[in-house]
Structure 1
Amino acid sequence: MPSTEAWWRDAVIYQIYPRSFADANGDGMGDLPGITARLPQLRRLGVDAVWLSPFYPSPQHDAGYDVADYRGVDPRFGSLGDADKLITTAHELGLKIIVDLVPNHTSSDHVWFQAALRSAPGSPERERYIFRDGKGPDGSEPPNSWQSVFGGSAWQRLDDGQWYLHLFDVSQPDLNWDHPEVRAEFIDILRFWLDRGVDGFRVDVAHGLIKDAELTDWTSPATVLGGLEPVGPPPPMWDQEGVHEIYRQWRAVLDEYPGGRILVAEAWVQPEERLARYVRPDEMHQAFNFPYLEAPWKPAELRAIIDSSLAANATVGATTTWVLSNHDVVRHASRLGFPAGEPRKPGIGADDPQPDVALGLRRARAATLLMLGLPGSAYLYQGEELGLPEHTTLPDEVREDPAWERSGHAEKGRDGCRVPIPWEADAPSYGFGPSDASWLPQPSVWAEYALDRQADVPGSTYELYRSALATRREHALGSGSLDWADTGESALAFRNGGLLVVTNFGAEPVALPAGARVLLSSEPLDADGRVPLDVTVWALV
């Protein structure tokens, strides 16, 4: 286990989506007691820390990212006492706990916004949010042209004529981060959870808190997921210079606490040099590498992103944080089942082209070994250690992601990667809970992916992950360095310490150096001991 205060520099962190991980009471919704009971399995898997998506009181219009109370636990998930027990149990197991923080917006049910609705235009209560008068002779036009990430206008008009900004759902009004009361409130929220023992915060939409002071018109879609161009100035709602002052203030608070408490940026920012500014020594500790997540399954593109990421982070003394899947994107076991280079899909439905399941899993296993062989830290998304694909045939009538409705059903949304995961093949709800209830329906194929069908089974995806994490730790790959090796244009190969990592993207098998001792392979080598197509090998040389 990480033993220093810089534990995060090479840690492997496991993301839990609370409503879909484990259900203790059988109501079909995952909860904190369910998570606590399953923590020993994560200890056995070999991860270093756990990141929990939001579990705060919320009307759940955006699966908990619409927070009504930042200092509580939604009754659907349990109580503050359950949160305390989860943190204590994790620490007893040697796991660190990171919680989600959603500072860009609150729920419209938050007491601050309810007070704003009851107050007049220009009142102090409305100053905590971004209220503006409309355009046009009667103020009936939005204050500017900004669009919501979920589709439609980013402005909602009230009966008194004023408009408020919501870059996400209409139930998620954006906070005014130029207001000192907002800044003081979140400092207090940080301390509340730090005092309860959490080891850090993943900061939602970290690049969105500060808006251009003039609210300059911007006609392009406000896509937060991969929506920023790598050249030119950032859009007026994203990656504004003022966000860095906020994170310097937060870092000073975390540094008061022992044990290496961390801040993790969810910042869809390009190029890598701008993203690296979020992890300067006096700001955040980690920032997800989304360009790597979005990279096509092609060697030249992957190598370019790896090089630019390592170089940009090295200028600020930070390690790179690699990731392949999370709760906002199509799972990589399905994403990689499409032809390499296809645009990223905002969800997949039954009437959409379907991925090649076998190809997707083969590439996903290879991609995982490639990622875990890189120096730095890495995040895993619940279920990927089982090889779980996206639920690509989810019935439209059960979809809950606000992107589905706000896009006029043009985007299937993110529900397909959020389906409750399987633990036991023959149990109700595949062991998700004690009953058949499941807040999203699980596909029948979940049985073949269940943990009890894979644990202690040589060659299973679960055992591949376990072996990879143990080998990564044994050889200190996370704190190592990368030196490229020459294996031709159709493969990627690099040395990290004494370990050689080879991924073959071409039809011709790749020979390993003479005397290489294979430690791990995502699929069997060919009869001549060479690396086949879409396979990654770790070997001692």
Structure 2
Amino acid sequence: MTDLLAPRPPAPWWRDAVIYQIYPRSFADANGDGIGDLPGIRSRLPYLRDLGVDAVWLSPFYLSPQADAGYDVADYRTVDPIFGTVEDARGLVTDAHDLGLRVIVDLVPNHSSDQHEWFQQALAEGPGSPLRARYHFREGRGSLPPNDWPSIFGGPAWTQVPDGQWYLHLFAAEQPDFNWDHPAVADEFRTILRFWLDLGVDGFRIDVAHGLVKEAGLPDIGRPTEWHLLDVGESPCFDRDGVHEIYRSWRRILDEYPGERIAVAEAWAPTLSRVADYVRADELHQAFNFSYLGTSWNAGDQRKMIAASLNAMGAVGAPTTWTLSNHDVVRHTNRLMQDTQGDVAGRRPTEVDPVAGLHRARAASLLLLALPGSAYLYQGEELGLPEVIDLPPEVRQDPAFHRATGQDGYRDGCRVPIPWSGAETPYGFGPAGAPTWLPQPPSWAALSVQAQDGVPGATLTMYRDALALRRKVFHNEDLTWQDAPEGVLAFDRGEGFRCTVNMTTEPLRLNRPGELLIASGPLTMEDGTAILPPDTTVWWSL
């Protein structure tokens, strides 16, 4: 007979992990060249331990011509010199583990760089060569591309080479898509997985996880199409059933290694149930919840999406993930102040009231951190950094910026190097007086780590306190909705915690349900009651 009082084994670390995304070129610059690097990241790992996160996810640092900020990989087994060396990567993993942090690295399996050895050899060998079969080379339709597929970055998804054939690239022309029907491609990536697992990484974030397999025959879409990076809908290019056998084979590799190594899918699919297919028990561990990221700041929409997300992932036994910002979308300090319903990234960021934007962003962050599952934070959000919307065209580096259609090219605004200390640029990002690859706003001196460290009420302080509480308070994946006025969310986690969110434009007076743990903004506390300002989240101990 089972002893119901016997202690349960701890849940896998990743089910409720807080994972912090590092965009390496914008995190910390150790050598003063204006671009962040692996030694810079290593020097700041104690900060992340003290912040209270469980793991870090590093965007690509592999050898790359940097046509798309490293998502065009020329060699998957080495580090680009602008970021350091393989030994720097090994040292970073070792240091992180010594501090109790895990390390997840980006993997880019949908496409390579056009400078990859395979692609260069394919060009040299010509039509019909074995290397061309590892990509999608096709004859055109007269002077037209082989089909009507568009590139995410605008224009057609095909480029013609001098011998007349065309190759497929769902992103930039410098990023030719692999042909995952070719066994050599699958073999190559299994060895790449093992290379980094042997080095000690704890998992992978899989870029464009929904894109590896294309519909057989590469049929036309048959309708006018403009795509956004995270919102492509049903198409023959994405979310084909064949991807799942790839991930089953990867899961078997991950399970061979000790320490609960994981894989996280960047998978956009038409429905949450299709996203859940990626995290079935024999496939990947997590998938990004872009449906939540794109949900407007509205209590009804938020409750509906939270419930739908929990139900969809719960149906396959997987945890839900939550995120508000990343390297591809407008920072939520700005985005949540815009009308974002149906527009995941708030594609063209506009000026917003910085005080109101930060107030709402703090409330959204505290709500996110109260939800069951795994939370992803993007570097700088713990400082309340706003989107930089006034970068001059000559400094922008997003490859889609000058395109007329597709991804609008405003991703540089969330990638500006973050401030650490001091009153002048580069604010401790690099040595004093050193350049930065994107210019930092003068206002960021007041938002630096140094400026907020230990300051009551600062955004950094709120994040540190919330992450510490999250570890102490949440011990299960339960969520129970409570009755609340229109425009207000209220839910319990277990029997001892309640989260209340005022999403209205008016102060909310409510009977205090318990002891105040943390609030995203100032409250007025009276005998037995509390007054929550608009756009405020509160955690209570019941």
Aligned residue runs from structure 1 range 463-482, under 5 A: 463-476=461-474, 479-482=476-479
CA distance in 1, matches of 2:30, 2:512: 52
Does the 8 A contact of 1:337 with 1:358 survive in 2? no
Q: Indicate how the Cα distance of structure 1 residues 304 and 220 shifts in structure 2: closer, same or farther if over 3 A, else same.
A: farther
Does the 8 A contact of 1:98 with 1:201 survive in 2? yes
CA distance in 1, matches of 2:101, 2:88: 17
> Can you list the C-alpha shifts for 1:496-518, whole angstroms capped at 9, x where unaligned?
12111011111343334445111
CA distance in 1, matches of 2:227, 2:266: 14
Which of 8, 11, 22 aligns to 2:17? It is: 11
User: 1:322 is matched with which residue?
Assistant: 322
Tell whether 2:129 aligns with 1:128.
no
> Can you list the C-alpha shifts for 1:352-407, whole angstroms capped at 9, x where unaligned?
x4122111111100000100000000000000000000111111111100110233
Aligned residue runs from structure 1 range 38-437, under 5 A: 38-136=44-142, 140-218=143-221, 219-221=223-225, 223-229=227-233, 234-339=234-339, 341=341, 343-345=343-345, 347-348=347-348, 353-407=350-404, 411-426=408-423, 428-434=425-431, 435-437=433-435
1:222 is displaced (CA, Å) by 5.6
SS of equivalent to 1:445: helix
CA distance in 2, matches of 1:445, 1:278: 42
SS of equivalent to 2:275: helix
1:527 is displaced (CA, Å) by 5.3
Does the 8 A contact of 1:348 with 1:416 survive in 2? no
Number of equivalent positions: 528
> Can you list the C-alpha shifts for 1:180-209, whole angstroms capped at 9, x where unaligned?
000000000000000000000000000000
1:73 is displaced (CA, Å) by 0.2
> Can you list the C-alpha shifts for 1:67-100, whole angstroms capped at 9, x where unaligned?
0000000000000110010000000000000000
Does the 8 A contact of 1:24 with 1:33 survive in 2? yes
1:408 is displaced (CA, Å) by 7.0
Does the 8 A contact of 1:116 with 1:126 survive in 2? yes
Q: Indicate how the Cα distance of structure 1 residues 222 and 7 shifts in structure 2: closer, same or farther if over 3 A, else same.
A: farther
Which of 451, 454, 472 aligns to 1:453? It is: 451
User: 1:530 is matched with which residue?
Assistant: 531
The one-letter amino acid of 1:520's match is: I
Which of 490, 494, 507 aligns to 1:493? It is: 490
> Can you list the C-alpha shifts for 1:395-443, whole angstroms capped at 9, x where unaligned?
1111100110233799242000000000003254000000431000111
CA distance in 1, matches of 2:525, 2:114: 62
Does the 8 A contact of 1:346 with 1:413 survive in 2? no
SS of equivalent to 2:358: helix
User: 2:4 is matched with which residue?
Assistant: none
Does the 8 A contact of 1:293 with 1:325 survive in 2? yes
Q: Indicate how the Cα distance of structure 1 residues 182 and 339 shifts in structure 2: closer, same or farther if over 3 A, else same.
A: closer
* Stretches of structure 1 lacking an aligned partner (at least 5 in a row): none
1:225 is displaced (CA, Å) by 3.0
Q: Indicate how the Cα distance of structure 1 residues 455 and 484 shifts in structure 2: closer, same or farther if over 3 A, else same.
A: same
Calculate the TM-score normalised by the size of structure 2. 0.95
RMSD: 1.6
The one-letter amino acid of 2:264's match is: V
CA distance in 1, matches of 2:465, 2:189: 40
Q: Indicate how the Cα distance of structure 1 residues 410 and 242 shifts in structure 2: closer, same or farther if over 3 A, else same.
A: closer
The one-letter amino acid of 2:283's match is: E
SS of equivalent to 1:402: coil
User: What percent identity do the matched residue pairs reach?
Assistant: 58
User: 2:3 is matched with which residue?
Assistant: none
CA distance in 2, matches of 1:437, 1:43: 28
Tell which deviates more after alignment, 217-226 or 276-285: 217-226
Does the 8 A contact of 1:5 with 1:260 survive in 2? no
Calculate the TM-score normalised by the size of structure 1. 0.95
Does the 8 A contact of 2:147 with 2:220 survive in 1? yes
Q: Indicate how the Cα distance of structure 1 residues 318 and 158 shifts in structure 2: closer, same or farther if over 3 A, else same.
A: same
The one-letter amino acid of 2:364's match is: A
User: 2:6 is matched with which residue?
Assistant: none
Which of 512, 515, 518 aligns to 1:517? It is: 515
SS of equivalent to 1:134: coil
* Stretches of structure 2 lacking an aligned partner (at least 5 in a row): 1-8
1:531 is displaced (CA, Å) by 1.6
1:448 is displaced (CA, Å) by 1.1
The one-letter amino acid of 1:278's match is: Y
1:5 is displaced (CA, Å) by 7.3
CA distance in 1, matches of 2:128, 2:21: 41
